[in-house]
Structure formats: C-alpha cells, structure tokens
Structure 1
Amino acid sequence: MLLRPVSPISALLSNTKSKFPAKCIIHSKMGSESKSLVGKKSANYRLANISGFKTDLLEINSNEPKLHVLLIPGNPGVLYHFTQNFWSHCMSYWEGLPLSQACISHISQSKKDWESRRLFSLEEQIDHKISFIEQELQDVEVPIILVGHSIGSYISLEVLKRCHKKVTYCVGLYPFLALNTASSTQSFIRRLAMSPALCTAASAIGALFGALPSELTGFLVKIFVGKSWSSSAVEALCTHILKVQSFANQWFLCYMISYFDSSLSRSI
C-alpha cells in the first residue's frame, strides 16, 4: 500500500470549530507520575497495559471529535520529551479543531524499568502500536490519522499497511526511510549501532550517568549539551533517557534500524 498524499489536518477539518480549543501550557515539573498539559484543554497521563507491556500515554479527548490523531515518536520514544518539544507545538496549529489526540511511548523507553531490561526490536515496537489501536481505539468511529516523527514515520507506514480499515491517513515528519550517507553523525551512529560490543559499552556509560544523583547528572549534561539543548530536554535526558533500560533499548532500536537500512540497500 502506498502512503496517501495528505492535506494538512486543518484543511481536513475546514470550517469546523471546536467548543474545546486545545491550547496548552506544559508543566515544567517532572517529578510526579501524573503530568498534564494545562490550558483550555487538558491532556491526561495514563499508564496503560498494551498487550502486557506498560505504556505511557498522553491523551486529549474531544466530546464530538471529527478526527483522532495518534502521534508516534522517533527514537528515543520517551513520551514527556517528545510531547513537550513537539506535541505542544502541533497543538498551537490545531487549536480550535475538533480532535481527539493521543501520544504513545515506545516499550521500555520510560522512567521505570517495567520490562526487566528486556530489549525490543523494531518489529515489536510496530506490533505494539498496532495492539494499541486494536485494544484502545477499536470503538473509534472517526478517521484515525497517524503522525510519526523520524523512525516513528516508518512505524506509522507499517501500521497504516496493516490497519488500513481503521487508519485513514499517515503523516511523516522528518521521516526516516534510509540513512543519509553524507551525514557524519548518522554514519558514526550507524557504526556504533552495528557493533553489539560498542552498544553495550554505550549503554553502560549511559546507565552510569543515569545512576548518579540527579543534580550531578544535570550538571554534567549541561556542560556537554546545555548550550544547545533546552532546559526541559536536559531534564528529560537525566530523568528518562539515561535510565539503563531506556538507554539500552534506544541503542538496540538504532541497531535494528541500521540492520533494516543495510538489508534495504542490498535488496535495491
């Protein structure tokens, strides 16, 4: 199945106004398990059980939605970081539109180690999103639109192929379909990801940073990336991304992506 050309969401809902505009401000505190986007419309945090796996969700429900938007992040798939830097920006464009929205994390890329440090492949992450639609959105009667970022775009494409009766459109933002060989950063990540030994070493270093007191981790992170990263991104790195199970799964997903890209190149 080919990806359908997609009009902007606002165009799909032209001349439609919502009684519940979705303008929001995100809490800067990340200490509690329950987080909300506060404004004219609130987003509810929920820890869901999707096919036996603990999954972070953020949801905004409309009383009379015309569309249901599901956002699938890239790698890392840490929900809070993705939401704070991306979802709120999207919502500024969607303000006033009758949308129900959800943002889903990847398995075992969260603050807590729910899955006992198990590693999950790209295919398992795809199946996870399909299970979410079949389990949580089975009664949704309005069109479902997937919005994927980076490798989330590829995941969205695969979900579209397999759930075409439920999913109507797919939007890819900075879609990842192949590595950019001209990028020295991507080439370095690929070489690192393709080596199990180097992935293990990188995970161990990340876990070491994550095990340090949060104040010290934050100080070290700010020294290296603080000038180019927002304070919320630095905080998300310290509290979520550098957790041992999360960091290991991020690198494992990088390895799976690199393997997929190599296989694709050989088949062309």
Structure 2
Amino acid sequence: MLLLLYPLILSNLYSLTNFFINSIPYKARFSGKCLNKGMDVDAHLLPKSTKSANFRLCNVSGYKSEILEIHAVAPIMHVLLLPGNPGMASIVCLLMFSLFFLFFLKKKKISEILYDQLEGNASITAIGHISHTRKNWEHGRLFSLEEQINHKVDFIREELQKNEIPIVLVGHSIGSYIAIEIFKRFPGKVKYCVGLYPFLTMNPESKTQLVIGKISESQILSIALCYVIASLGLLPVRALRFIIRNSVAKSWSTDAVDATCSHLSQYHVMRNVFYMAMTEFRKFAEGPDWTFIRERKAQISFLFGDDDHWGPLHVLEEISKQVPGITVAVERENHTHGFSCTEAGSLWVAQHVANLIKNQTSLTMQ
C-alpha cells in the first residue's frame, strides 16, 4: 500500500522542494555525441573520445566539500559553477561538460583569443554546498545561506586566490545570489558574474514558495517531511528509480534519476535543503543590493526562464528598471528552471553562457 503511494508523494515533493536535480554520478564520463541534442553544434566539432571530470573531497575551513573540476592546460580564466538548492557539486556537471566542449571545440566561432588546440583555456570547477553530500560528513549539522556563502569564499581564498587567473562566476538559482555576494568580496579577482534562472527575491505570487516557506519555518513539519523522503531510500534502487522515472522525472536523463536516488533520499541532505531555504527566505526580506549591481552592471548578466516562479519575469523588469543597461535575457526554449536535468537544456544554457563570456572577454581585451 505504501509503495503505491510513492508516486503521489514524489509528485508533491517535486512541487514542494523544487526537485531540479541536475546531477550525475561521481566520476561520470560523457561522450561528445550525447551533447549534440537540441543545439546548433556541428557534429564534426564534437570530441571523438570521452572527457572525464575529476571528483575530489577537500577540506574547506574544516568542512568536507565535494568538488568536480576540469583542468585546462594553460587557462586564462577559471569558471566557478555555483549550484542552487539542493546544492550538490554534480548538480551542474552536465553544464560543466557543455561549457567545456563549447569553449574548447567551438573556439574559432566563439572567441579569437581561444587558442587553436583541442585543449581549452578555461578551467572549470563546481563546488557543492556543505552537507549536501551523499555521506553525512557533518553529522547532522545545519548550515544557513550565509554559512554556505562563507564556505565558497573560503574555497576561493584557499585554492584560487593565489592564482593570477581571473574568476568567472556562474550561479544557478540561489547560486546567482551567492555569486553576487562572492563578487562583492573579491571585486578585483572576479571579472564576470552570470546568474542563471536567478532566485534573488521572494515571489509573492508563487504558491510553491509559500508552501516551502511554511514547511521550512516549522521544525516539526520539516523533520517529518525529511523522514518521509528518507524512507524512499529504503526501497531497492531499481524500484526507486522506476518510481521516480515514472512520476517526476519522465524527461530527465538516466544519470539525473540515478543521482536523485543516491542524494535526495538522504535525511541530512533534505534537512539542510529546508534549513537553507528558510534562511534564504528570511534574507530576501531585505531585497537585492541594487547599489553594487549598478556599480558592476558591465560585469553582471542574468538569464531568466520564460515561466519560472523562482525567477519570474517581473524580477527581470525590476532589474532593468533599477539597473538600466544591464545584460538580461529570457530563455524561451522550454528548458525550465531545472535545465540541466537534460542534456539539451545544459547545452543550450552553456551556449548562452559561453557567448556572454566571449563578449565580455572581447570588451576587456579592447
């Protein structure tokens, strides 16, 4: 009887927790041919062999952190990818590979300064949030939005600050807000900041945000719901994968479904997801820092979705009103807030980001 209820439970959890799990398993490998879906990419430009990201655990200010990275031979920039909430490093890995292939295999069409070899000129790193990990390294401790921001700041200081290479920040959802906060602390190091489907302020018209806010503010409701979600992990993997595939993830890639099974069925992950959401909602009562965005508008860009309650178009209009001349765009290809659940969505967004960075690099080189 309980098994029959799981599709209904999962469907509701999708609405409640913004189930945009864009993840892939660790040490995953991607074939170039799988990236030729839904984008204008020449087939002969795609790689003949696979390219794998390096996964590693590292200590950042004493906290276990999951890192995925692709190293270039002679990078002239370092792209740091910041996921939303949930915030596993692997959540943006398809985007990472798409960016890698676009930069390094379409370089002649993207930028004249990208050199003429298959190896590219930008290293790419994705860093996950503390305790949004498969293993409960922090023993149930909960981390706020501010603590997650400080975690990324410490990572830059410990691993990237000494390099002379400039940083490009690419944030998704709440990761866009985190990227701006990082930019404020490293104004000389960060050269460009891109917000994808940005969650920057509350949307009073969103029933989903209202429900999540109520749940996250109630410790009883939050704990109860996390136990329900964690109970899914008791199912055999094949059964859980089948349920997810046939309920909330019909269009997702196999890797995204597998990662959902391995990560979001963890109690400590979901507790941190709701706790972080609670602190996000409280923080957003203050509104965006328009002064900083105005000062750095030439180095900040946003991509909104056509129908995204986390980053609705009225926020785009407000940004354009508050910061005239800032670069904003709207994705109208139906890729949704969870774009990197699919290969086509990841590649489309990567193309957009690559073009933004190319344009910014061209301006700074003039």
Please tell me whether the aligned partners of residues 27 and 53 of structure 2 are also in contact (alpha carbons under 8 angstroms).
no
Equivalent in the alignment of 2:67: 57
The one-letter code matched in structure 1 to 2:97 is S
Aligned counterparts of 1:252 and 1:213: Cα–Cα separation in 2: 28
Equivalent pairs counted in the alignment come to 235
Give SS of 1:177's match: coil
Please tell me whether the aligned partners of residues 194 and 258 of structure 1 are also in contact (alpha carbons under 8 angstroms).
no
RCO higher in structure (CA 8 A, sep ≥6): 2
* Cα separation, partners in 2 of 1:78 and 1:36, compared to 1, 3 Å: same
Equivalent in the alignment of 1:144: 167
The one-letter code matched in structure 1 to 2:184 is K
The aligned runs of 1:72-87 (5 Å cut-off) are: 72-84=82-94, 86-87=95-96
The aligned runs of 1:189-228 (5 Å cut-off) are: 189-228=212-251
How far did residue 63 of structure 1 move?
2.0
Equivalent in the alignment of 1:243: 266
Q: Highest Rg: 1 or 2?
A: 2
Check if 1:99 corresponds to 2:99: no
Please tell me whether the aligned partners of residues 24 and 91 of structure 2 are also in contact (alpha carbons under 8 angstroms).
no
Aligned counterparts of 2:73 and 2:98: Cα–Cα separation in 1: 22
The one-letter code matched in structure 1 to 2:145 is L
- Of the three residues 152, 167, 176, the one matched with 2:199 is 176
- Of the three residues 81, 84, 87, the one matched with 1:71 is 81
- Of the three residues 129, 150, 153, the one matched with 1:130 is 153
Aligned counterparts of 1:235 and 1:71: Cα–Cα separation in 2: 21
Query: TM-score by structure 1 length?
Result: 0.80
Check if 1:90 corresponds to 2:99: yes
Give SS of 2:130's match: coil
Query: TM-score by structure 2 length?
Result: 0.60
Structure 1, unpaired ranges of 5+: 1-27
Aligned counterparts of 1:53 and 1:109: Cα–Cα separation in 2: 12
The one-letter code matched in structure 2 to 1:43 is A
How far did residue 249 of structure 1 move?
0.7
Structure 2, unpaired ranges of 5+: 1-22, 32-48, 108-113, 115-120, 289-366
Equivalent in the alignment of 2:54: 44
The aligned runs of 1:11-22 (5 Å cut-off) are: none
Check if 1:111 corresponds to 2:134: yes
Structure richer in helix, relative to its length: 2
- Of the three residues 172, 176, 179, the one matched with 1:153 is 176
Please tell me whether the aligned partners of residues 24 and 256 of structure 2 are also in contact (alpha carbons under 8 angstroms).
no
Q: Deviations over 1:14-55 (max 9, x none)?
A: xxxxxxxxxxxxxx983xx54455646542111111111111
Bigger shift: residues 65-74 or 179-188: 179-188
* Cα separation, partners in 2 of 1:263 and 1:164, compared to 1, 3 Å: closer
* Cα separation, partners in 2 of 1:132 and 1:37, compared to 1, 3 Å: farther
